Amino acid sequence: MLQKLDTSGLTARFPQLKDKRWIASLALFGVLVAAFGWFFIGGDGDDVANYRTQPVVKGDLEKTVTALAQVRPKTFVDVGTQVSGQLRKVEVEIGDVVKQGQSLAQIDPTVYQTRVLAGRAKIENLKAQLEQNRAQLVLDQAREDRSRQLFATNATSKDAFELATANLKINQAKIASFEAQIKEMEATLQGDEANLNYTKIFAPQAGTIVDQIAFEGQTLNANQTAPIIVRIADLDVMTVWAQVAEADVPRITAGMPVYFTTLGMPEKRFTATVRQVLPTPQTINDVILYNVLIDVPNKERELMTNMTAQVFFVLGSVKEALLVPVAALRPSQRDKGGFTVRVIEGGTVKVKRVSVGLQDRNVAEIKSGLNEGDVVVIGQAARSDQKQKSFSFGTPKFK
C-alpha cells in the first residue's frame, strides 16, 4: 500500500499537479521504472542473494549432431538361380558360415540334362553326315577329274562333264552346311550345359547365411526375375546407415569422428569415422533426410543386422576446459560478437569480458577472462514472496 504523498511543494512549482490524475500517472511511472530496474538489472548489486550462481569448473565438452540409424552388413549378396525348376535341395541354414565356392542348393536338373543329351546326339548325327559327305566329296572330285580329262579329248559329252562338276559343287555345299549346323548345335549345347551347371548353386563369396527366401520343394521361375534363395553377408564389417536432417547434413563430412550406441547396449560406445554422405535424400513424412554411411569393425559379432543405433557426429571437442553454463553469457555491448559474464567477487557483482570457444546448448568453453572456481551469475533468484518473476500493475490508489 502506497503512503499518502505530500504534494504541497510540487504543486507550488507545478500547478498542474493539483490535478490528481497527474499525480496518479506520475506514481504509476515511478512504479514501472522501479520494476524494470529490479527485473533487468537484478535489484541491489550488493545483495548477491538475489542471484543464482554457479562456479566455473574444468571439464570436457563436445558439440555433436545426433541422428537415428540402422546397422547393416557392409557387403552382402543375394544368391539366386538363373534357371527355372523345382528347388530340390537346400544345403545350408540361416546362421551357417560358408566359404566361397561352397555348394548351397540344387535345382532339379532333369530337364537340362535331357537337353544336353539331345544336343550332344544331334551334334554326333551331324558329324556323321558330314563324314559321309566328305567321303562322297572324294568320289565326286575323282569323277570330275576323269570327266574333265575325257572332255578334253572329246571322249565324253559336255553334259556329262558339267554334271560331274555340278555334283562336286553340291557336295561341297552340303559339307559347308553340315559344318555350320554343327557349330550352331555346339553353341546351343554350351548354353544347355551352362544351364545344367546353374542347377547347382555355389556361394559367390564367404560369409554368413543371414536370410533364406526359398525352400525345398518350391518351384522357381527365372524367366522374369532371378528368384533369391539365400542371402550371404560379411559380418566382419558393418555399415551404420544414419539419417541426418537437411539442416545438419552440411556440417557432416567424410572422415569426421563419430560414435554411436545401440538400443540393446546403451552403455557400449562404438567409435568410427564417416565413410560417405549419399547425395540423394529420402523424404519421410515430409522430412528430407540424407543417408550417412559409417563403417565399423565387428569381429566380436556384437552388431547384428537391422539393429537400431543412435549416432553422434562430433563437430568439435575440448578436454579439461573452463566451462560455464550458457545462461551466464551476455552479449557484449562494446565488442560485437563478444560476451560478458557477471561474477561474484567480494560480495559484489562485477561484469567481465570473456572469450568463448566451443559451446553447445547448455555449456560454453571459456578461453580467457575467468578462472576455475570463479562464481558466475546464471539468473535471478526467486524471492520468498514470489516464486516466479511476474508483475501485475494496477491503478495505484492514493489516500
> Taking the chain (399 residues) in consecutive chunks of 10 residues, what is each chunk's mean pLDDT?
42 45 48 41 55 95 96 95 94 95 96 96 96 94 92 89 93 95 96 96 95 94 88 96 96 96 94 96 94 96 95 96 96 84 93 94 95 95 52 34
DSSP assignment of 262-281, as one string?
Answer: ESS-TT--EEEEEEEE-SS-
Q: What is the pLDDT of residue 335?
A: 73
Given 179, 198, 217, the domain boundary residue is: 198
- Taking the model in full, what pTM does it have? 0.67
87 within a domain of the structure (yes/no): no
362 φ/ψ angles, rounded to the nearest 5 degrees: -115, -35
Residues 193 and 236 in one domain: no
Residues 337 and 93: beta-carbon distance below 8 Å: no
Given 271, 299, 316, the domain boundary residue is: 316
- State which H helix or E strand residue 294 sits in: strand 287-297
Given 316, 331, 354, the domain boundary residue is: 316
Looking at the DSSP assignment, which residues form a beta bridge with residue 244? Answer: 290
Q: What is the pLDDT of residue 226?
A: 81
Q: What is the pLDDT of residue 47?
A: 61
Domain carrying residue 171: 109-198
Task: Kindly list the distances between the CA atom of residue 195 and the CA atoms of 66, 104, 231, in Å, as whole numbers in the listed order.
Answer: 51, 16, 21
37 within a domain of the structure (yes/no): yes
339 within a domain of the structure (yes/no): no
120 within a domain of the structure (yes/no): yes
Residues 127 and 182: beta-carbon distance below 8 Å: yes
> Domain count of the chain?
3
187 within a domain of the structure (yes/no): yes
